[in-house]
A and B are shown apart, each in its own frame.
Chain A
Amino acid sequence: MCGEGVVKVDAPQTGAVAPGVHADAARCRVDALVARARRERGVYGCVILFRRELDRFLRYSAQTIVSPALTTLLWFLVFGYSLGERLQEIKGIPYVDFLVPGLVMMALIINTFLNSGFSFFISKIHGTVVDLMVTPLTPLQIIAGYTGASVVRGIAVGGVIWAVAILMGASTLHQVGITVAFLLLTCMSFALFGLIVGILARDFDHINFIPNFLIMPFTFLGGVFYSIDMLPGPWDTVSRFNPILYMVNGLRYGMTGVSDVPVGLGLAIVTVSVLLCLGIAWWLLATGRKLRE
């Protein structure tokens, strides 16, 4: 009977592999795919991932660009024109000019973080992350795709705010190089941070916790609306441990020429944040931790 014939296969019968019926066609197909893999190296795939992410936030541009820009402009109107009447000048520049870099930085920090974090997290929740994990894309290419699109969104939101501020005669540009450097590095830093959180997050609470309880307080306390020189001790010293302070002041220096902290130190801090986040994101994707298994 059936049971009598059961063979315990200690060494499974792997040797008994006969070529399949359509083995020649199969081998041709394999050769073509190996050649494509050798040719592509995932570069085109990375561009497609970037385009897909771009498409995703542009499709919902009312939510992803217009809405945050509008919210920030309300901050600008409320603080810049109501409070600004009382403060007049800070560090020798009009308060409205002082405020614009802070608001631009606040908007792009939140938006770059949410873009990569939310997109990656949703792909986990919907199960489509598997479709990405089985592609030939390297961890760095996946990072580049997500981060690149987030940087574009951050620059777009920040650009809209800045453009409106200029139209209202409220902004200046002191040093283009420093301005661009801080914009890009901060965007990259928070896009990478968002990606890390997106990879690690298990539910929506995790993805909402970081912006609400970490980024927003640190941004508010990072000199967006005031100079830390206005703070009583020891809070002015405590504020110097907040990395966002250096990002806000770096951009403020680039746009207005004033800063509470050394710009070189700020540049170093934001560069280190990019490299640190890049390393962590790469490690998470390369090892598949919390993701593949």
Chain B
Amino acid sequence: MTLGFTLVGIEVGWAFVRKTEPLLSIERLTKRYGDLVAVRDLSLEIAPGEIFAMLGPNGAGKTTLIGCVTGLIQHFDGTVRVAGYDVRRDYQVTRQVVGVVPQELNFDAFCSTRQILIYQGGYFGRRRACERADELLRIFGLSEKASANSRWLSGGMKRRLMICKALMHQPALLFLDEPTAGVDVELRDELWAYVRRLREEGVTVFLTTHYLEEAEQLADRIGILNQGRLILVDRRDRLLNRFGTRWLTVTCDRKLPKPLKDRLAPFQVTFPGPDCLRVRYRGARDPERVPVVEQVLAAVRDAGMQVRSLEGGRSSLEEIFRNIVKRDNHPDAGAVVEPEGGYVR
């Protein structure tokens, strides 16, 4: 009885450890190229099953970071573990777990599209690679090009083939380095749908992108890398709420009188047109949001005016990202870029 309890206890304890164990663990990673520090003292953990988007301007160190995890870069300071295994010491295990879609398009001029996939699966020890290759070719719409030399594929098709290659051994942690660079909208949407499907199948996805909409659509968490430093990591929704602004544009039936404008002065209100005002507030969870909106609308009613239309909006991740990076590059800069665009919800 005691023994049984102990064993159960161990099992429960082990399950707890496993549940909290990150799939990717990076501790104090620093990568230098001569005097240039490409990645500086970076620590990060990725949980199994999540989609993580790493944002950053050109040269921020995103690709270098991926290189350190996937084995393309061997010399760095710090520790990188995948599923608890060191990427340099136990690379045969970690590379089996990881799949990577590089940023640069590549092609194998000597083999057919299908043959490339079969060989790529074989390098990872995958038997019956033909079936898997045919399945991926079908999913990514390349079946008709199965016998074609990859040299003659279009850019979008080459990108798809690269994704197929990375998926041949069914990795658990997939790195997508700018996956939709240079692809059309249709393929982009297909790819996003497939990434979501991969997540349902248990694939953890780490993507870097310039297209912030991509991160906004896909990611559970978002990291921002700037000049090799990880300046921010947060859940997507929290990031949008924490750093984003929302606004409500109120269009009235006539020109706004000066007394009304004076009354609205204590609030963050701007006047985009003579008959129009825009009130801003922080994220959806801003406790001040409802009272502010109510008070602004009450002031409009008290001025004897009628509301012709209401339009809500919020700052996009792109604006948030721009602001954060700008603040990081110029810490003393007081003003931040005022959100202008964004999409209406």
A231 to B180, CA, bound (A): 66
Contact in complex: B199, A21 (CB < 8 Å): yes
Say whether A92 faces chain B, with CB atoms less than 8 Å apart.
Answer: no
Partner of B19, one of A7, A23, A28, A48: A23
Residues in A whose Cβ lies below 8 Å from that of B319: 2
Contact in complex: B199, A9 (CB < 8 Å): no
A138 to B96, CA, bound (A): 12
User: B164-205 CB contact bits vs A (8 Å, 1 = yes)?
Assistant: 010001111100000000000000000000000001111110
- Write the nearest CB–CB distance from A227 to chain B, whole angstroms: 41
Closest to A7 in B: B232
Contact in complex: A1, B98 (CB < 8 Å): no
Of A31-39, A232-240, A254-262, the one contacting chain B is A31-39
Say whether B91 faces chain A, with CB atoms less than 8 Å apart.
Answer: yes
Contact A26-B109, Cβ < 8 Å, known A13-B233, A21-B199, A136-B91? no
- Write the nearest CB–CB distance from B246 to chain A, whole angstroms: 12
Say whether A56 faces chain B, with CB atoms less than 8 Å apart.
Answer: yes
Contact in complex: B107, A128 (CB < 8 Å): yes
Residues in B whose Cβ lies below 8 Å from that of A36: 96, 124-125
Residues in A whose Cβ lies below 8 Å from that of B110: 55-56, 59-60, 122
Contact A30-B47, Cβ < 8 Å, known A9-B233, A25-B201, A48-B119? no
For chain B, residues 25 to 67, give those with C-beta under 8 angstroms from any C-beta of chain A. 33, 42-51, 67
Residues in A whose Cβ lies below 8 Å from that of B93: 34, 37-38, 136
Contact in complex: A6, B327 (CB < 8 Å): yes
Using a Cβ–Cβ cut-off of 8 Å, how many residues does chain A contribute to the interface with B?
A: 67
User: B62-99 CB contact bits vs A (8 Å, 1 = yes)?
Assistant: 00000100111111000000010100000111011110
Count of A-B residue pairs with CB < 8 Å: 234
Residues in B whose Cβ lies below 8 Å from that of A8: 231, 328, 331
Closest to B173 in A: A30
Say whether A133 faces chain B, with CB atoms less than 8 Å apart.
Answer: yes
Contact in complex: A12, B42 (CB < 8 Å): yes
- Write the nearest CB–CB distance from A60 to chain B, whole angstroms: 8
A122 to B231, CA, bound (A): 39
Closest to A22 in B: B49
Contact in complex: A55, B102 (CB < 8 Å): no
Partner of A132, one of B98, B123, B335: B123
Partner of A45, one of B104, B124, B171: B124
A16 to B221, CA, bound (A): 10
Contact A6-B230, Cβ < 8 Å, known A26-B48, A132-B123, A288-B73? no
Contact in complex: B233, A16 (CB < 8 Å): yes
Contact in complex: A26, B123 (CB < 8 Å): no
- Write the nearest CB–CB distance from A28 to chain B, whole angstroms: 6
Partner of B339, one of A2, A6, A26, A56: A2
Closest to B27 in A: A14
Partner of A131, one of B91, B106, B233: B106
Contact in complex: B19, A2 (CB < 8 Å): no
Say whether A19 faces chain B, with CB atoms less than 8 Å apart.
Answer: yes
Please name 30 pairs of A and B residues whose Cβ atoms are closer than 8 Å in the assembled complex, sorted by A. Answer: A1-B245, A2-B320, A2-B324, A5-B242, A6-B324, A8-B331, A9-B233, A20-B199, A21-B220, A22-B48, A23-B48, A25-B200, A30-B23, A36-B96, A42-B125, A51-B122, A55-B110, A60-B110, A122-B110, A126-B109, A127-B106, A128-B106, A130-B100, A130-B102, A130-B104, A131-B165, A134-B100, A136-B92, A136-B95, A136-B124
B residues lining the A interface (CB < 8 Å): 18-20, 22-23, 33, 42-51, 67, 70-75, 83, 85, 91-93, 95-98, 100, 102, 104-111, 115, 119-120, 122-125, 127, 165, 169-173, 199-204, 220, 223, 230-235, 242-245, 282, 315, 319-320, 323-324, 326-328, 331, 335-339
Known: A2-B336, A41-B92; 8 extra A-B contacts, CB below 8 A, are A2-B320, A6-B243, A16-B234, A20-B50, A22-B202, A30-B48, A33-B169, A134-B95
